[in-house]
Amino acid sequence: MSLNLYQVSVPAYIHTLKALAGVLEKGAKHAEAKGIDPSVLLNSRLYPDMFPLVKQVQVASDNAKGGAARLAGQEPPKFEDDEKSFPELKARIEKTIAYLQSLKPEQFNGAEERTITLQLRAGTMTLTGIKFFLHSSLPNFFFHCTTAYDILRHNGVEIGKRDFLGNN
Protein backbone atom coordinates (compact mmCIF):
# COMPACT_ATOMS: atom_id res chain seq x y z
CA MET A 1 0.00 0.00 0.00
CA SER A 2 1.42 3.38 -0.93
CA LEU A 3 0.72 6.55 0.99
CA ASN A 4 -0.09 9.85 -0.58
CA LEU A 5 1.31 12.93 1.21
CA TYR A 6 -2.28 14.04 1.87
CA GLN A 7 -2.74 11.04 4.19
CA VAL A 8 0.28 11.90 6.34
CA SER A 9 -0.08 15.68 6.32
CA VAL A 10 -3.63 17.00 6.38
CA PRO A 11 -5.03 14.62 9.05
CA ALA A 12 -1.95 15.21 11.26
CA TYR A 13 -2.26 18.98 10.93
CA ILE A 14 -5.99 18.88 11.72
CA HIS A 15 -5.61 16.53 14.68
CA THR A 16 -2.86 18.60 16.29
CA LEU A 17 -4.61 21.91 15.61
CA LYS A 18 -7.70 20.58 17.39
CA ALA A 19 -5.50 19.57 20.34
CA LEU A 20 -3.90 23.05 20.30
CA ALA A 21 -7.38 24.62 20.41
CA GLY A 22 -8.12 22.50 23.49
CA VAL A 23 -4.89 23.62 25.15
CA LEU A 24 -5.79 27.26 24.41
CA GLU A 25 -9.25 26.71 25.91
CA LYS A 26 -7.62 25.45 29.10
CA GLY A 27 -5.34 28.50 29.06
CA ALA A 28 -8.34 30.83 28.82
CA LYS A 29 -10.13 29.02 31.66
CA HIS A 30 -6.97 29.12 33.79
CA ALA A 31 -6.67 32.89 33.31
CA GLU A 32 -10.31 33.38 34.26
CA ALA A 33 -10.13 31.09 37.31
CA LYS A 34 -6.95 32.71 38.62
CA GLY A 35 -7.97 36.28 37.84
CA ILE A 36 -5.10 36.68 35.37
CA ASP A 37 -5.44 39.15 32.53
CA PRO A 38 -5.47 36.85 29.45
CA SER A 39 -3.01 39.15 27.69
CA VAL A 40 -0.38 38.11 30.23
CA LEU A 41 -0.55 34.53 28.95
CA LEU A 42 -1.02 35.53 25.32
CA ASN A 43 2.14 37.65 25.41
CA SER A 44 4.22 35.20 27.46
CA ARG A 45 7.27 33.62 25.93
CA LEU A 46 9.76 31.02 27.10
CA TYR A 47 12.79 33.23 26.50
CA PRO A 48 13.15 36.89 25.47
CA ASP A 49 14.23 36.09 21.90
CA MET A 50 11.37 33.64 21.28
CA PHE A 51 7.91 34.43 19.95
CA PRO A 52 5.05 34.91 22.45
CA LEU A 53 2.12 32.52 22.65
CA VAL A 54 0.03 34.46 20.12
CA LYS A 55 2.76 34.32 17.47
CA GLN A 56 3.46 30.62 18.18
CA VAL A 57 -0.17 29.81 17.34
CA GLN A 58 -0.14 32.02 14.25
CA VAL A 59 3.03 30.37 12.95
CA ALA A 60 1.67 26.88 13.68
CA SER A 61 -1.40 27.81 11.62
CA ASP A 62 0.81 29.18 8.85
CA ASN A 63 2.89 25.99 8.76
CA ALA A 64 -0.19 23.79 8.51
CA LYS A 65 -1.99 25.74 5.80
CA GLY A 66 1.22 26.66 3.99
CA GLY A 67 2.60 23.15 4.08
CA ALA A 68 -0.59 21.55 2.83
CA ALA A 69 -1.16 24.21 0.17
CA ARG A 70 2.35 23.86 -1.26
CA LEU A 71 2.09 20.08 -1.31
CA ALA A 72 -1.24 20.43 -3.14
CA GLY A 73 0.35 22.81 -5.68
CA GLN A 74 -1.54 25.86 -4.41
CA GLU A 75 -0.63 29.24 -3.02
CA PRO A 76 -1.24 29.27 0.74
CA PRO A 77 -4.11 31.45 1.91
CA LYS A 78 -2.97 34.57 3.73
CA PHE A 79 -4.35 35.30 7.19
CA GLU A 80 -3.80 38.58 8.98
CA ASP A 81 -1.76 38.15 12.17
CA ASP A 82 -4.10 40.32 14.23
CA GLU A 83 -5.32 37.92 16.93
CA LYS A 84 -5.23 39.37 20.44
CA SER A 85 -7.41 37.00 22.45
CA PHE A 86 -7.96 33.31 23.10
CA PRO A 87 -11.25 33.32 21.13
CA GLU A 88 -9.52 34.98 18.16
CA LEU A 89 -6.73 32.37 18.21
CA LYS A 90 -9.31 29.58 18.33
CA ALA A 91 -11.13 31.19 15.37
CA ARG A 92 -7.85 31.24 13.43
CA ILE A 93 -7.37 27.55 14.16
CA GLU A 94 -10.93 26.83 13.00
CA LYS A 95 -10.31 28.81 9.78
CA THR A 96 -7.09 26.85 9.21
CA ILE A 97 -8.88 23.55 9.75
CA ALA A 98 -11.65 24.58 7.35
CA TYR A 99 -9.04 25.33 4.69
CA LEU A 100 -7.30 21.99 5.28
CA GLN A 101 -10.65 20.18 5.02
CA SER A 102 -11.25 21.82 1.63
CA LEU A 103 -8.22 20.06 0.16
CA LYS A 104 -8.68 16.77 -1.69
CA PRO A 105 -6.29 13.80 -1.65
CA GLU A 106 -5.92 13.85 -5.44
CA GLN A 107 -4.43 17.36 -5.26
CA PHE A 108 -1.45 15.72 -3.55
CA ASN A 109 -0.78 13.20 -6.32
CA GLY A 110 2.91 13.50 -7.21
CA ALA A 111 3.55 15.88 -4.31
CA GLU A 112 6.55 13.82 -3.19
CA GLU A 113 8.52 15.01 -6.24
CA ARG A 114 6.87 18.43 -6.63
CA THR A 115 9.39 21.27 -6.43
CA ILE A 116 8.74 23.53 -3.47
CA THR A 117 10.56 26.86 -3.36
CA LEU A 118 10.51 28.93 -0.18
CA GLN A 119 11.66 32.50 0.33
CA LEU A 120 13.39 32.65 3.71
CA ARG A 121 15.24 35.44 5.46
CA ALA A 122 18.50 33.62 4.70
CA GLY A 123 17.62 33.20 1.02
CA THR A 124 15.76 30.84 -1.27
CA MET A 125 15.36 27.16 -0.43
CA THR A 126 14.21 24.63 -3.01
CA LEU A 127 13.19 21.12 -1.97
CA THR A 128 11.21 18.18 -3.27
CA GLY A 129 7.78 17.84 -1.68
CA ILE A 130 8.79 14.92 0.52
CA LYS A 131 11.88 16.74 1.85
CA PHE A 132 9.86 19.91 2.35
CA PHE A 133 7.26 18.01 4.36
CA LEU A 134 9.66 15.88 6.43
CA HIS A 135 12.45 18.42 6.97
CA SER A 136 10.63 21.75 7.11
CA SER A 137 6.84 21.89 7.27
CA LEU A 138 6.04 19.13 9.75
CA PRO A 139 8.94 19.79 12.17
CA ASN A 140 8.21 23.53 12.18
CA PHE A 141 4.52 22.90 12.75
CA PHE A 142 5.20 20.66 15.74
CA PHE A 143 7.86 23.03 17.08
CA HIS A 144 5.39 25.92 17.28
CA CYS A 145 2.54 23.78 18.65
CA THR A 146 4.89 22.39 21.31
CA THR A 147 6.19 25.83 22.21
CA ALA A 148 2.64 27.18 22.57
CA TYR A 149 1.87 24.24 24.88
CA ASP A 150 5.10 24.83 26.82
CA ILE A 151 4.37 28.52 27.34
CA LEU A 152 1.00 27.72 28.91
CA ARG A 153 2.38 24.85 30.98
CA HIS A 154 5.24 27.06 32.19
CA ASN A 155 2.65 29.61 33.31
CA GLY A 156 0.82 27.09 35.47
CA VAL A 157 -1.95 25.94 33.16
CA GLU A 158 -2.85 22.40 34.17
CA ILE A 159 -2.23 20.59 30.91
CA GLY A 160 -0.37 17.41 30.18
CA LYS A 161 0.82 15.15 27.42
CA ARG A 162 -2.70 13.89 26.71
CA ASP A 163 -3.81 17.46 26.07
CA PHE A 164 -0.98 17.96 23.57
CA LEU A 165 -1.65 14.65 21.83
CA GLY A 166 -5.40 15.25 21.68
CA ASN A 167 -8.12 12.64 21.38
CA ASN A 168 -7.19 9.83 19.02
| Domain layout of the chain by residue ranges | 5-165
Distance of CA 134 to the CA centre of its chain: 15
Secondary structure letter of residue 126 according to DSSP:
E
Secondary structure letter of residue 74 according to DSSP:
-
Return the closest-CA partner of residue 24 out of 60, 50, 63: 60
pLDDT by residue for the chain (168 residues), tens digit each? 467 899 999 999 999 999 999 999 999 999 999 999 999 999 999 999 999 999 999 999 999 999 999 999 999 999 999 999 999 999 999 999 999 999 999 999 999 999 999 888 888 999 999 999 999 999 999 999 999 999 999 999 999 999 999 986
Distance of CA 104 to the CA centre of its chain: 19
Q: DSSP states of 132-153 as a string?
A: HIIIIIHHHHHHHHHHHHHHHH
CATH number of this structure's domain 5-165, picked from the four choices 1.20.120.450, 1.10.260.40, 3.40.470.10, 1.10.357.10: 1.20.120.450
